[in-house]
Amino acid sequence: MPTLLHVVGARPNFMKAAPVLSAARERGLSQFLVHTGQHYDHSMSEAFFADLGLPAPDENLGVGSGTHAEQTAKIMLRFEPVLDRRRPQWIIVYGDVNSTVASALVAAKKGIRIAHVEAGLRSRDWSMPEEINRVLTDRLGDLLLTPSRDADENLRAEGIAVERIRFVGNVMVDTLLRLIDRARGLRMPAAVGVEPGRYAFVTLHRPSNVDDPGTLAELLAALDDLGREMPVCFAVHPRTRQRIQDFRLAPPPSAGGVRFLEPLGYLETVGLVDQSALVLTDSGGLQEETTVLGVPCLTARANTERPITVTDGTNRLVASTRAAIGQAVAAILAARRNGSFEPRRPEGWDGRAGERVVDAIVGEESSLPSRSGSP
Ligand code: UD1
């Protein structure tokens, strides 16, 4: 049986790795967990390990923040000796963060097999760092494990051999379904002082939204407007908090109906999303979680790598302007009143994706074509 080495680094990796680690443990596989330390604040990292029941990492590379080049290079330098010491047959990488591509590049050059969980998603927006990470990681990966059929199509269109592509479904949904009852048990709306079903939940952290003062000001104005309709719970990412300060944009915390919250743990977030009237976000994961929970979602972006959440789910793209968000909120509230809201659960978003990831790795171990010839 192969030895696996999982690499995680940033907040959205943790809920994806949890079900795969657990399925591999049940199959009796030997495995290691490496945390690159890309995210390091308690609220961005340890809080998630605790909520998700993840084992403590076997190694923490402690890379911290920096420019993309600094962060990527540091991960590569510190990851190489770990691979030499642990000698896994496979590394498993998740999603699209800098830790994903950096560790995959090191492993590829050492001839260690790479499984990429959440392969094949494409926004077709090369200005997004995550898009660069996705395309390169899929080019490097031996086994590309996809969450939705559109991802298979994207990979085939890029000329990737079909033998390397496996549709497994969405691992994040495994975690959501496993923990939803615990999240509900926290009674988060009461804990933050809002009424179930009568508030909005907001997260914003993409560079395209928060690194430009004009765009961030528009978004804060949109939140202020929304706060006049209903209380707004805004869980503020450290990057966003920093930018609000840098650009001197912050209204007093008590202004309007907007509550500025610290970044929340996984259960707290799911607990608030589940009971919200709507979500406004630029997160990838929340687009999927709202689809499964049947909560209307507005994604403040020009594109999404998760189009299935729009075609089958509750997601809708909206421009990052006060006017566009105002109109979209009005449309959601009208649709809710008319009862014209019917989400569908996409194929393979069923709580068993982690098992299928492990089946794919174990099943294909011996039969994978060698990558030593043409790439
Ligand atoms: C990263 C991912 C993004 C993901 C997001 C989730 C990349 C390219 N981006 O973006 O895809 O959606 O994580 O959060 O990998 N910071 C802290 N404490 C922390 C971590 C970060 O204060 O624990 C601050 C630092 O000022 C840092 C900034 O946030 O410079 C950005 O962190 P970084 O990991 O570079 O990118 P994210 O914006 O978090």
Its pTM stands at: 0.95
pLDDT of residue 373: 46
CB 134 within 8 A of CB 121: yes
Ligand 1 mutation pick, 97, 130, 246, max ligand atoms within 8 A of CB: 97
Q: Ligand 1: which of 65, 67, 240, 299 to mutate, judged by most atoms within 8 Å of the beta carbon?
A: 65
Q: Length of the chain, please?
A: 375
DSSP character string of 177-204: HHHHHHHHHT-HHHHHT--TTS-EEEE-
pLDDT of residue 256: 66
What element of type H or E holds 70? Answer: helix 68-86
For residue 18, pLDDT beyond 70: yes
pLDDT digits (tens, 9 = 90+) for 102-151: 999 999 999 999 999 999 999 999 999 999 999 999 999 999 999 999 99
Please work out whether the CB of residue 213 comes within 6 Å of at least one atom of ligand 1. no
CA distance 243 to 195: 30
The answer to whether 263 and 40 have CB atoms below 8 angstroms apart is no
User: Which stretches within 110-229 are classed as H helix?
Assistant: 129-140, 149-157, 171-185, 188-192, 207-210, 213-229
Average of per-residue pLDDT across 51-62: 98
Mean pLDDT of 263-274: 98
Q: With bands split at pLDDT 50, 70 and 90, how would you rate the model's confidence at 338?
A: confident
Q: What is the pLDDT of residue 217?
A: 95
Residue-wise pLDDT tens digits, 281-328:
999 999 999 999 999 999 999 999 999 999 999 999 999 999 999 999
